[in-house]
Structure formats: C-alpha cells, structure tokens
A and B are shown apart, each in its own frame.
Chain A
Amino acid sequence: MDPKRRFLLKGMLASGAGGALLGSAGLAQAALGANRTGRVPTLLLSGSTEIENSFGAGVRAALPPGADFRPLRAGHVDAFAEACRSLSGNRPLRLIGMLDDASGELLIARARHAGARVSWLGLHAVDNRQTRHQIVNAPGTRTAVLALGEQLGTSAAGFALKSEQPFSEGRDLSLAGRRAGATTSDWATHLGHALAEPGRPVDSAALAARSARLEGRFVSFVIEV
C-alpha cells in the first residue's frame, strides 16, 4: 500500500475478504463493468450555486456531448417543486442531485411516495478539519463509492467514508484517512462525475479545473423514475 495514501480499507469488498487491505489505486477500476446506467434523460438538482459549481460541474463533465441533460436552477424553490413533480411523471428520468438536509429528507420522502428507485443516498459533512460521507447504495452505484474513496484517499484531508450495504449481509465498506495539513478536497466534483457515469473512470485532471470547494452538510442522491 502506498504509504503516502494513509487510509485504511476496513470491511469487505465484493470478494468477501474480511479485513482485506487494498490500495486505493484501481479500486474503481476493479469494480468497472458493474451496472451501467441506461441512457435516460438526466435532471440535475443542486441545492445552491456552490453545489452546482462543484457537484454539478462533475455531473456535466461526465456526460457525453449531446446527452439529454437539464440542470434545474440552483437553490430555487420552483426547482425543488419541479424535481418533486418529475418523480411522479410518466417520463423515464434520472434525477441526480445534492441538497441541504431538510430538502434532502423531503425529496427522499417524495421519491418513496412516487415509487421511484433510489440507487444512491449519501450524507456528507465537510468542514476544514475533515470530510465524512455515509452512503446507502444499491449495487449499481458501487463504483461511485469506490471512486469517491479513491479520490478522498488521494487528496482529502482527514476523512471517513462509510458505505452501508443493508440489503446484503456483512458487506459494509469503511474507509478512513488521517492525513494532516491537506485542504478540503474537491470531493463533490468527483462524486458528481462518478454518479453520473458510474461505469467510467473519473478523469481527475479534467475535473480539477472545474471544481469548487464545497463545505457544509449535504444529502446526495440518484433517483430513477
């Protein structure tokens, strides 16, 4: 394991190897080939301009030119209402987004009510000391967990990433790093990219220029109608 990347992979990956320690490089690669999202229109819901400029930038960067993609206006009440309406519509659609806790709670409740499929549900807490991420995800977005883990392991300050797998016994993933002195990373941009294109490796170099720093508490989600 690269000593510069002092993060610990606890838990078990799909191999079921309890306590196995893996290097971060190639984690996402290892899981490539897992579910690819079909080409349905993508709706992006960002809770604020900062989210749009980080998470949203990642989503945009991931989608191929010409992809059917529509961002809703960041932080706007009507945007939230429109996103909720889209959940109950008949049109197949993928809603990717990041919101504050209150709006996130409401949106997931709406998704449940509409019978939509939630393949990713993340809680994120980021301040100048560390970033913490807690994910409940379906297998189709497992690569996004690994991509996020890889990104955090490479460039984050202290971080903790926990991916709960409540639907499959004993497969929680838990990563933690205690790197001193590093600044908060552009984790949200990478996450946006990984969620928009779970099957494609994240091009970190291309993303660096696009990302903006994002701090606070957030809920991320991928919902399919």
Chain B
Amino acid sequence: MSQQTNKVLPQGVAESDFRAALEQFRALLGAENVLVESEQLVSYTKIMMPGDVARNTPSAAVTATSVEQVQGVVRICNRYRIPVWTVSTGNNFGYGSAAPGQRGQIVLDLKKMNRILHIDAELGTALVEPGVTYQQLYDYLQEHDIPLMLSFPAPSAIASPLGNTMDRGVGYTPYGEHFLMQCGMELVLANGEIYRTGMGGVEGDNAWQVFKWGYGPTLDGMFTQANYGICTKLGFWLMPKPPVSMPIEIKFEEDTDISDIVEFIRPLRLAQVIPNAVVIAGVIWEAATCNTTRAQYTTEPGATPDSILKQIQKDKNLGAWNVYACLYGTREQVEVNLNIVRGALQQLGKGKLVTEEEAGGTQPFDYRAKLMTGVPNLQEFGLYNWRGGGGSMWFAPVSQARGSECDKQYGLAKQILNKHGLDYVGEFIVGWRDMHHVIDVLYDRTDDDERARAEACFNELLDEFEKRGYAVYRVNTQFQERVAQSYGTTKRRVEHALKRALDPNNILAPGKSGIDLNNGFEL
C-alpha cells in the first residue's frame, strides 16, 4: 500500500517497530481498520487551534469493534511503546477535534463500537458504547416510544454521550451536568485489564446503573479528562419526559445587565423553579446562530465595533444578553413556576419574556428550545460562519454564580479579546452554583497574523484570569499543559504518580490534561 504517503512516526518509536506494530494491528483488527495513508488521515487533522496541523498529526488511526480488540490494541501499544489517543466520535470541535494531542500518537477511534446496550425505561438509565451518538439514542427512544429525555451538548446529533461525559461536557436540561448524571463506567486499563467502577465489579449485580458509589474509593472522576484508562461502556441517567416543557427566553437590552441577570436567575435555579442549565447568551452568539455573519456588516479587520453590535441587536431583534430557560412538569406545575419567574422579573424591573408561541419558530429560539427539550440539532455551528476561516478555541473559565463575578469576567474577557482584534462571542451556562463562562475565540486560520493574535490572546486570557483566581474547566490540546499549571504542582505530582502506577509505559494519551510521564513530576 502507499504507506510512503505518510512519514509520521510515533515519538521515540523506530520505524521498524512501528511497522511491526501495524502488522499486529492488522492481524487483530483487519487491514481495513488500520489507517495509515495520508488520505485516510487528513480528516483527523482538521484542527481549529492556531498551531500548525503538523503538531497534531497522527501516525495512524485504528478502529476497534469490541472490548477485546481494545484490550489487544493496548497490549500492542505497550509492546512497542506506542502512544494512543482515544476518541469516541471525535467531534471535540474547539477542544482538539479528532486529532491526537501530540504529533505521532495513533488515534484509537471507537466510532464503530456503537451499540446501545441497555435502556431501562422505568429507572431512566442507559448503558452505551463509545460510538453511540445522541441522535442514535434519540431515534431509539422515539422508535420504542420510551418517555425519556436526553441532555446533550449543542453538536447533539453527531456527538456521543460517552465522549462528551469523558471530557466533562455540559448540556442544557436539568441533567445538563453530564458527569453528575454518569453512573458506572467500564474501562480498559493500560495493562489490558478491565475495570468497572461503582457496582460494576460485583458478579451478578444489577445496580451498576443506579448506584454510583459502590464500596471503598469511588474512582469514576479520575478517569475523566484523564489518561488512565479507555472507557468502553458508560452508564448514565435519563430524565423522565415531562408532560409539559415550556422553553422561554428573556431578552435584556444592555450588556451592563449581566450582573442583575445572574442575581435574578440564581435563586430560581437553586430553588429548582428553573431546573435546567440556563444559558445567558451574548449578542454575537445569538446573531451567529441565526445565520448572521460579520461580513454582512463589515469587512474591516479587527474587533467588531460596539456600534455595529448594537445595530445587529436591533436588526435581528436580539437582546444584548438573552436568557434561555425551560420549565418542566404538569401544566399546573409549569404555570406556577412561570408565575414565579414573571414575578421575579417584575421585581427586577427589566427584561422581556418571550414564549415559544411568540418566537414563532424563529432562530435562535428554536434551536435553544430543542436543546432544552432533548431534540438534537446542529444550528449552533453557525458560530463558525460569524468570522469564518476555521479558527475556534473555547475559553471556558468557571466562576461562582454571582452577578459581580460574571460582570468582572465578561469585562475582562471582552477587553482582552478586543485588544487582539477579536470578538467576545460568549455565553454563561448556569450550573448548580457555578457558571461555565464559555467563550468561542473565533479567528481566521488562513491569516497568519490573526492566528498569532489568537494564540497570544488565549495566553493572555489564561494569564489574566489566573491572576484573578479563575481557571478554565476544559481546554483544547494546544493549551492543556499550560492549564495544568494553573491547578498547582501537588495536583500534578499526584496525577503523575497515578499515571506511573497505572500506565508505566506512558502509552495512554500522554499529554492529556498535562499528564505525561516525560514531564518529570515525582511524588
């Protein structure tokens, strides 16, 4: 075959060893599941980070169809010291996509392990393999008339519950904190052994998907955003579909309103009057997701002037901030809660509440309503057309759910982004007591100058936020080492001690979250 089209090798691995490993992968998986030609690998290199593609180019990609094959892959990797980066559906856009964290790592793509293993309609639980997508689950629930509702990230249709949960992603329903709703994992460890968390190790047990903690140390969290094991099954909880779901939007006119909005929402969220992961979306986010592009208003380089943003707000009938929430329950429950929300809004003295009927099927209300009621869609990809050029990095600092905090973060982020000629394209996702402040740092990858500015901007965002005690909850692979530094040396030493114990050959995704035995951390 034309292996000569791909000259990439795993770091520190001799070509002869790599060839021997490939032969063994072929014997294990079948030749069609071992991808080595450049044409087969280009789609694994569609990164959106500012670094060169070469940094994240795999030497090969392999696809497995069973747990035994995953075990076999791990054994071969151990034999030849080949680093392996696992993806489930690989749609981690803005966090590294399907590309490996480091050049030369092979990608273990689990897209073909896509069986829905079990849905319990009464208990509201699911057990799935890595390649199962939310769309697949949605279709399954529809076909079998199962009254359960999904919670998913915005790229719902193509993303996987397992991949999203392993990276501690979020959704927009009451079950929006996905790792919180996770219940039971099966993992292939670096030595090829299978480990089940929670109740999963007990022979004959049937409580694996209903009781998280099991006995003794509870280790599930340790495997998320980490490189200690390859998850081959994930259990999680699904919300019973309520008789009534009422999505609402509240539009606020001024960008200075953010502090008041958060103070207004928090008590309602804490008291579960509004039970879902509420979103407070900024004006550009809203504009882009109703198919507005920057070029429709200006072709001048740099940050979009506030005057234009105000114009867009007016033209598209948007708020400077747009709150999306959803009420669930019986008609009576929903009515009671809606009245409480209306009452609180009246007290606040600003903000215009919009119902689904009033929105009339228009974007962005429509896709937000779908996200909050468990209907997959891909409308949010409109963000990529705002500026265009294929550059996107999520900057996602966490804060307390306090108005003053959000105000401070918003002001700081906007100032830094604008200084580098980029726009603030952000939203706050209201967690239980926290805010995920999610900013899409959008830039044009075709423009070397803009690429450099985006990189500098991201570094400055991390630095300046850190100085004020903030850090991000997740980051793209180019910045994973930098972010690990924010969390302190002791944490890193513990993480590396675990790595040394569980994966002494450093084969599982070295570099993930800054964990790599080549870093030299000793406990």
Contact = CB atoms under 8 A, between A and B. Distances in A.
Interface of A: 100-106, 108-113, 115-119, 121, 123-125, 127-128, 132-134, 136-140, 160, 162, 164, 166-169, 216-219, 224
B389 A101 contact: yes
B43 A108 contact: yes
Contacts of A134: 390, 445-446
B98 A102 contact: no
A105 B46 contact: yes
A160 B444 CA distance: 13
B38 A138 contact: yes
16 contacts: A105-B93, A108-B43, A109-B98, A109-B158, A113-B111, A115-B35, A117-B42, A121-B43, A134-B445, A138-B42, A164-B53, A167-B57, A217-B388, A217-B390, A218-B388, A224-B39
B39 A106 contact: no
Given A109-B91, A109-B158, A219-B390, A121 B381 contact: no
B390 A105 contact: yes
Interface in B173-200: none
Contacts of A128: 299
Interface in B422-460: 444-448
Of listed B6, B37, B385, residue having the most chain A CB within 10 A: B385
Nearest to A132: B446
A119 B42 contact: yes
A98 B303 CA distance: 27
Given A102-B383, A105-B93, A166-B8, A160 B39 contact: no
Of listed A102, A106, A164, residue having the most chain B CB within 10 A: A102
Contacts of B89: 113
Nearest to B442: A101
Contact of A117 (B37, B385, B447): B37
Contact of B43 (A102, A118, A169, A217): A118
B317 interface: no
B90 interface: yes
A138 B39 contact: yes
Contacts of B7: 167-169
B52 interface: yes
Given A139-B38, A166-B57, A216 B295 contact: yes
B54 to A, nearest CB: 4
A138 B57 CA distance: 13
B38 A100 contact: no
